[in-house]
A and B are shown apart, each in its own frame.
Chain A
Amino acid sequence: MAATNIETWQSATVIETLPVATGITRIVLEPSMPVSAEPGTHIDLMVEIEGEAVKRSYSVVESTHGGTRLVISVMKAPLSRGGSIFMHSLIPGARLDITQPLQNFPLRVGAQRYILLAGGIGVTAIANMAAVLKRLKADYTLVYVGRSRNAMAYVDELSELHGERLETHIDDEGSSLKVPELVGRADASTELYMCGPIRLMDAVRRSWVERELDLPNLRYETFGNSGWYDPEEFIVRVPKLDLEVRVPQGRSMLEALEDAGAEMMFDCRKGECGLCEVRITELSGTIDHRDVFYSKRQQRLATKMNCCVSRAVTSATGAQSDAAHAGPAVITIEPN
C-alpha cells in the first residue's frame, strides 16, 4: 500500500503488556481491521485524561502476521500531558479506539547508505526500519542513544538482531554520542533517519546544515512533545475574545484555549503544518518553540507561535527549578 494519512478508526484489544525498560511498557494490540504496518508508521489512539477522550500518537514498533498484532511502547513521562499515565494503566483485555497505521515517516527503499539514529523512546519509530533494512541487506548503521542502559528499551533484542551494525551511546557509561562525528560519516548518498529528543535532533540538523548535506536526506518525524524547556504553567490572554486562560503543565495552549471556548484553527497538532499559528502581541517570559514549522530566524523573532506544541516559560536555563518565582509567564495573543 502506498503511504496514507487517512484515518480509519477501529477497535483494538490489548493482548499483552510488558515492562521493557525503566518506565517503558510494551503493549501488544490486536486490531479489529488489521492491515500490515510499514516501517515508520504510527497509530493514533484515544486515551482518557480526566474522563475526557484525547488523541495520542505512538509509533508501531513491530507489526506481525499482516498487522494482526501491532506493538507499541510507551514511556511514562510525569510531565506529559497525561496520555502515558493512561497507557500504563492498561491491562490485557482492555479495549481501545485506534487508527489503522498512519504514515508520515516513510522509509525510502533504494538509498545507497543509511544511518538510523534513535534517542531514548525514539527507538520505537526506528526499530521497524532497521529490521526491514536488514532483510533487504541494505548498507545501514543503527545508532541508539540513551541516558542509561536500563532506561533503553529493546537494547538486547536490537543487539542480537543487528550485531555490529548496532552502535550504542550511553551517557552514564561515558560513551555519549558526538553528533559532528556521526554526521561526518554521512555523504551525499546517505539518508539519515532519526527520532529522539529535540535537542539531539536539533544538534544533528545543525551539523547536517554545516556540512552542506541535502536537507531532504535528513528524515525525522515529530510528535511535538519534547522542548528546550521543561513545561511550566503559564497564562495566555486573548483580548479579542476577552479571554484569560491558564495553561497547565500537562495541557497544550491550543487545548486550553479550546477548553475555554475559543474556536481555533489547527490541523496536525504536532508542530508541522503551521495552521494553529497565533500572533504574539505581548510577552513576559520566553517562548519555548517546539514546532518544526518556523525557521530559527522566525523563532528568534518571537512574534508568532504554533500553539499546538509551543509554550511560554520563565526559566532561564530550561530546568524547572530555575523558573522565575515572580509568577508564571504571561503571553498575549491574537488568534488567526
Chain B
Amino acid sequence: MTVVAPTSSTTNKVLPHPLNAWYVAAWDHEVTRKPMSRRIANRPVALYRTEDGRAVALADACWHRLAPLSMGKTMEKDTIQCPYHGIVYNSAGRCVSMPAQETINPSATVPSFPIVERYRYVWIWMGDPTLADPELVPDMHQMTSDEWAGDGQTIHAACNFQLVLDNLMDLTHEEFVHSSSIGQEELSESDFVTVREGNKVTVTRWMHNIDAPPFWRKNMQDKFPGFEGKVDRWQIINYEAPSTISIDVGVAKAGTGAPEGDRSQGVNGFVMNTLTPETDRSSHYFWAFMRNYALDSQLITTQLRDGVHGVFGEDEEMLKAQQAAIDANPDYEFYNLNIDSGGMWVRRIIESMLAAEGRLVASA
C-alpha cells in the first residue's frame, strides 16, 4: 500500500520511481526462448521471446495461484505455460488453454507490459499502458550507430536509483573514488555549467591544458601512438528523464580547438547509463562505453569494457555503503552543495513526474 504524502523535498533520501516511463528491462541478448524473471519497479516480470523472436513481458505470477510463469516454458507461437497447473498464456497475457475444462474463463489473464526493443535493450512500460508511447524511449542512439563501437554490462546496485543518478550528475567524485583511473584534482577545481530544459538536464565541464589521467592517456595512445603531453578534457553530462544519462567524455591535444568544436585531435567516448529501479533500495544499472575511434578493434572494446567495469566497481561499493548509512541514520537529513545542481534538477524533474502520478512519497 503506497502512502501518498503532500510533501515535496528535493532531498528525499529514498525517492520512489515514476511508473509512466520506459525503463530497460534487459539487454536484448538476455531475453531468449527460455523465460527469465526480473524484478522491475518492485514487480516480478517474466521475460521471454516468441517463436518469431519478439520480446514479451508478462507479470511473473499466474492468474490462478500466482505461481511464477518464469519457471515455466515457452510453447508454440507466442505462448508460455505455467509450471504448476499447465495454464497457457499468449503474449497479450491471455489464457489460451486451461486444464480439465473445455472452455477458457474469459477473465483469465495476466498483465502484459508494453515492450519496445531499441538501442540493444528491451524497454518496458510498467505504468498505465494507455500512455506507453514508443516515442518516449530515451535517446541512446550511440548504442546502435555505425559511428560508435563499444559494449557494456549490468551492475546490480544495492541502492535507490536516485543515488546512482546523483553519482552520475556530479563527477567531482571521480577525484576521490577513481583516483587511479580517471580522477584528477582539476575535476573539483574546474567550473561547470548546468542547464535544464524540460525533462533534460545538461552539466558541462571543461578542464584546459591538464595532464591526461591514466585511462585517457591510454585511449589517446590507441588513436595517436606514442602521444604524450597536455590535453583539454571535457565531460558533458546529458540527463533524460526519468533515469538515462549519456556522458560525452574525452580529451584532445591541448589547444587544438576542442572546446570550440574541433575534436579531431582527440578521443571521444559516450558513457551510456540507464537505471531501472528494482526495488526502493536496489537498481539495475545498465551501462556501456561507446567510442568513435578504432571502431573495428574488438581488443579495445574489451579493454574499455573491462576498464570501465573496474571503475564502476568502485562506485558500486560506495553506493552500497551510502544506502546502508542512509538506512542506519533515518533521522539525519541530506544537505546540498553547489556541485549538486545537476542532481537537484534531476530530483525536481522526477518529483514532478511522481506528482503527476499522484505518487510523491515522503519516506525514510
A130 to B93, CA, bound (A): 21
Known: A132-B130, A216-B94, A216-B95. A109 touches B114 (CB 8 A): yes
A20 to chain B, nearest CB (A): 25
When C-beta atoms are compared, the residue in chain B nearest to A293 turns out to be B103
Chain B, residues 127-149, CB within 8 Å of chain A (1/0): the string is 01110100000000000000000
B43: CB under 8 A from chain A? yes
Q: Is the CB of B106 within 8 A of A298?
A: no
B160: CB under 8 A from chain A? no
B53: CB under 8 A from chain A? no
Q: Is the CB of B105 within 8 A of A110?
A: no
Q: Is the CB of A108 within 8 A of B106?
A: no
B interface residues, how many (CB within 8 angstroms): 24
A308 to chain B, nearest CB (A): 13
Chain A residues near B94: list those with CB within 8 A: 108, 216
A295: CB under 8 A from chain B? yes
Q: Is the CB of A292 within 8 A of B103?
A: yes
Which segment, of A168-176, A218-226, A258-266, A280-288, faces chain B?
A218-226
A219 to B94, CA, bound (A): 10
A interface residues, how many (CB within 8 angstroms): 36
A185: CB under 8 A from chain B? no
When C-beta atoms are compared, the residue in chain A nearest to B90 turns out to be A216
B102: CB under 8 A from chain A? yes
A66: CB under 8 A from chain B? yes
A215: CB under 8 A from chain B? yes
B255: CB under 8 A from chain A? no
B313: CB under 8 A from chain A? no
A298 to B103, CA, bound (A): 10
Q: Is the CB of A66 within 8 A of B358?
A: yes
Q: Is the CB of A108 within 8 A of B130?
A: no
A62: CB under 8 A from chain B? no
Chain B residues near A272: list those with CB within 8 A: 105-107
A68 to chain B, nearest CB (A): 11
B59: CB under 8 A from chain A? yes
> Which of B109-124 touch A at CB < 8 Å?
109, 111-112, 114
Q: Is the CB of A295 within 8 A of B130?
A: no
When C-beta atoms are compared, the residue in chain B nearest to A273 turns out to be B105
A190 to chain B, nearest CB (A): 13
B321: CB under 8 A from chain A? no
B195 to chain A, nearest CB (A): 33
A1 to B128, CA, bound (A): 6
Known: A108-B93, A109-B114, A216-B94. A2 touches B103 (CB 8 A): no
Q: Is the CB of A39 within 8 A of B106?
A: no
Q: Is the CB of A104 within 8 A of B92?
A: no
Chain B residues near A273: list those with CB within 8 A: 105
Q: Is the CB of B107 within 8 A of A108?
A: no
B338: CB under 8 A from chain A? no
Which of B59, B101, B104 has a CB less than 8 Å from the CB of A2? Answer: B59
A268: CB under 8 A from chain B? yes
A181 to chain B, nearest CB (A): 24
B96: CB under 8 A from chain A? yes
Chain A residues near B128: list those with CB within 8 A: 1, 36, 38
Q: Is the CB of B106 within 8 A of A220?
A: yes
Known: A136-B130, A295-B102. A110 touches B107 (CB 8 A): no
Chain A residues near B96: list those with CB within 8 A: 214-216
Q: Is the CB of A294 within 8 A of B132?
A: no
A3 to B108, CA, bound (A): 11
B358 to chain A, nearest CB (A): 6
Which of B101, B107, B132 has a CB less than 8 Å from the CB of A268? Answer: B107
B315 to chain A, nearest CB (A): 33
A297: CB under 8 A from chain B? yes
A208 to chain B, nearest CB (A): 13
Chain B residues near A111: list those with CB within 8 A: 92
When C-beta atoms are compared, the residue in chain B nearest to A294 turns out to be B103
When C-beta atoms are compared, the residue in chain B nearest to A5 turns out to be B107
Chain B residues near A3: list those with CB within 8 A: 109, 111
A87 to B96, CA, bound (A): 37
Q: Is the CB of B103 within 8 A of A295?
A: yes
A38 to B111, CA, bound (A): 13
Which of B101, B103, B130 has a CB less than 8 Å from the CB of A39? Answer: B130
Q: Is the CB of A108 within 8 A of B102?
A: no
Chain A residues near B111: list those with CB within 8 A: 2-3, 106
A240: CB under 8 A from chain B? no
Q: Is the CB of B106 within 8 A of A221?
A: yes
A113 to chain B, nearest CB (A): 14
A132 to B131, CA, bound (A): 9
Which of A5, A105, A109, A292 has a CB less than 8 Å from the CB of B130? Answer: A109
Q: Is the CB of A38 within 8 A of B130?
A: yes
A274: CB under 8 A from chain B? yes
Chain A residues near B43: list those with CB within 8 A: 2
Q: Is the CB of A274 within 8 A of B129?
A: no
Chain A residues near B103: list those with CB within 8 A: 292-295
Q: Is the CB of A108 within 8 A of B358?
A: no
**Which of A36, A38, A110, A294 has the most B CB atoms < 10 Å from its CB?**
A110
A325: CB under 8 A from chain B? no
A223 to chain B, nearest CB (A): 12
Q: Is the CB of B112 within 8 A of A293?
A: no
Known: A2-B59, A66-B358, A108-B93. A222 touches B106 (CB 8 A): yes
Chain B residues near A38: list those with CB within 8 A: 128, 130
A110 to B125, CA, bound (A): 12
Q: Is the CB of A297 within 8 A of B130?
A: no
Besides A2-B59, A104-B106, 11 more A-B contacts (Cβ < 8 Å) are A2-B43, A107-B130, A109-B132, A110-B92, A132-B130, A215-B104, A216-B96, A219-B106, A274-B101, A274-B105, A292-B105
List 18 A-B residue pairs with CB atoms under 8 Å apart, sorted by A's residue number: A3-B111, A5-B107, A38-B128, A38-B130, A39-B130, A104-B106, A109-B130, A110-B114, A215-B96, A216-B90, A216-B96, A220-B106, A272-B105, A272-B106, A272-B107, A294-B103, A295-B102, A297-B102
**Residues of chain A whose beta carbon lies under 8 Å from any beta carbon of chain B:** 1-3, 5, 36, 38-39, 66, 104-111, 132, 135-136, 214-216, 219-222, 268, 272-274, 292-295, 297-298
Nearest 10 interchain pairs by C-beta: A295-B102, A104-B107, A2-B111, A109-B129, A216-B94, A108-B92, A132-B130, A272-B105, A216-B96, A3-B111
